Amino acid sequence: MARKTPFGHNKRLSRMLRLLARIRPHTMPVTYRHNRVALFPDGPHFFKGLLAAIRSAECMILLEYYIIRNDHTGNALASELVAAVQRGVRVLLIYDYIGCIETPSVYFRNLSQQGIELIPFNVPSFRRGIHWFDRRNHRKMTIIDSRVALLGGFNIADEYAGDGRHRDRFRDLGFSVSGSVVQELIGSFGDIWQMERDERPDLAAACERRPAKRHPGDANVAIISGVPHQRSSSIRSAFLFNIASASEELLVANPYFVPGPRIIRALLRASRRGVRVRLLMSARSDVPLVQLVGRSSYGTLLQGGIEIFEMEREMLHAKVMLVDGERSVIGSANLDQRSFHRNFEINCVIDSSAFGAEIRDELEADFNAARRVSLDRHEDRGIVLRALEKIVNLFSWFL
């Protein structure tokens, strides 16, 4: 039985209908009904599920990752992919060239020699122009046999897997989805492959002998694919729409917070209309400059009644927004200008009270364990730090 959330949604539904009336229909993503979603609440659960899914593959595995390291986790993935090829499964892999710059080339060469079809995304080339160097494929996705996809914020590395041997562990969330939405994800993978190879892989007839169940679940899912240099960022638009639709509670966890004025105004408007807004950030970051810029907006947000918490036990890497306990926006995109304008990203908008309740349980535990940021303490941070924030803010669009 689906879990019920403590929120009434009549106000939220009326707000969404008013918002939709102001948006042209062709700008809205397709919503796929009757999908099944399952949450992976941490690294050990995600990677156990990922390797099990790969072992279950019968004919096709598609993978797309920003970072794949040559460590314990990366080698475990490689072993399972090679085993899949040996039993007749076709494996295609897209990895970001810059994201994997520290991974020895022999790692990928060995995969290729074992029969895995792979391409590096965006190998530096002046032929494409200077602007191309700043593009990243930041997506994280595995698709198995046209029937299930695993997504979220996890890269393939020990620090994401919850490996106790790694000092800087990340706190992340992942999920699987099965149902009709998987076909759009396959098409999206094909788009990226074609962009790099100038030819589209033949994926249309994959796994015909094992069709997906027609109605495997009760979740409505929409895919938000971010593409660099769009006139209007689809990733940002989805965040804005869902912030504007909130009627009672908005929970946000995001590690790289450089949202820009439109997102900040939307959060403040939500707070003014009585929505309880709580933001979860990271107390320490692997990108300190981004953290400086993010903290420079704390004063405005705190004065507007928004609650801010910083996670101290691990480095936050989860990217999730929960609206009124029911609608989840979750995937690879950060609330920053890079995700909005310069990365290839993939988010899912999931309408499911049961899935939302699971997300809320995880976030509540993280909020309870985090340190709350007070306005007084933030304003006491010192003149040197304030000056650094102002200087770094001048370059925030490039972070």
Ordered per-residue pLDDT tens for the chain, 399 residues? 445 555 655 555 555 555 555 544 445 789 999 999 999 999 999 999 999 999 999 999 999 999 999 999 999 999 999 999 999 999 999 999 999 999 999 999 999 999 999 999 999 876 766 666 778 999 999 999 999 999 999 999 999 998 645 557 899 999 999 999 999 999 999 999 999 998 999 887 555 545 555 557 999 999 999 988 767 899 999 999 999 999 999 999 999 999 999 999 999 999 999 999 999 999 988 887 888 888 889 999 999 999 999 999 899 999 999 999 999 999 999 999 999 999 999 999 999 999 999 999 999 999 999 999 999 987 777 776 766 666 666 666 665
pLDDT, position 160: 95
Marked catalytic residue, from 42, 96, 145, 366: 145
Phi and psi angles of residue 18, each rounded to the nearest 5 degrees, phi first: -65, -40
pTM: 0.90
Statement: 1-37+216-399 belongs to CATH 3.90.1300.10? no
Under a CB-based contact definition with an 8 Å cutoff, are residues 369 and 171 in contact?
no
pLDDT, position 24: 46
Closest CA to 134 of 394, 337, 330: 337
Per-domain boundaries in the chain: 1-37+216-399, 42-172+180-211
pLDDT, position 211: 52
Marked catalytic residue, from 96, 324, 351, 366: 324
Contact residues for 18 (Cβ-Cβ < 8 A; gap 6+) = none
Same fold, 1-37+216-399 and 42-172+180-211: yes
pLDDT, position 210: 54
Write b or e for each residue in 205-222: b if 16 or more Cβ atoms lie within 10 A of its Cβ, otherwise e. ebbeeeebeeebbbbbbb
pLDDT, position 129: 64
Q: Respond yes or no: is residue 390 known to be catalytic.
A: no
pLDDT, position 295: 87
pLDDT, position 237: 94
Phi and psi angles of residue 31, each rounded to the nearest 5 degrees, phi first: -100, 125
Report d(CA 5, CA 20) in Å as an integer: 24
Q: Respond yes or no: is residue 42 known to be catalytic.
A: no
Q: Respond yes or no: is residue 34 known to be catalytic.
A: no
Marked catalytic residue, from 9, 71, 158, 317: 317
Marked catalytic residue, from 9, 138, 172, 336: 138
Q: Which CATH architecture has domain 42-172+180-211?
A: 2-Layer Sandwich (3.30)
pLDDT, position 219: 97
Q: Respond yes or no: is residue 138 known to be catalytic.
A: yes
Report d(CA 53, CA 62) in Å as an integer: 12
Q: Respond yes or no: is residue 140 known to be catalytic.
A: yes
pLDDT, position 384: 67
Marked catalytic residue, from 9, 140, 172, 366: 140
pLDDT, position 360: 98
Closest CA to 352 of 222, 257, 230: 222
Q: Respond yes or no: is residue 145 known to be catalytic.
A: yes
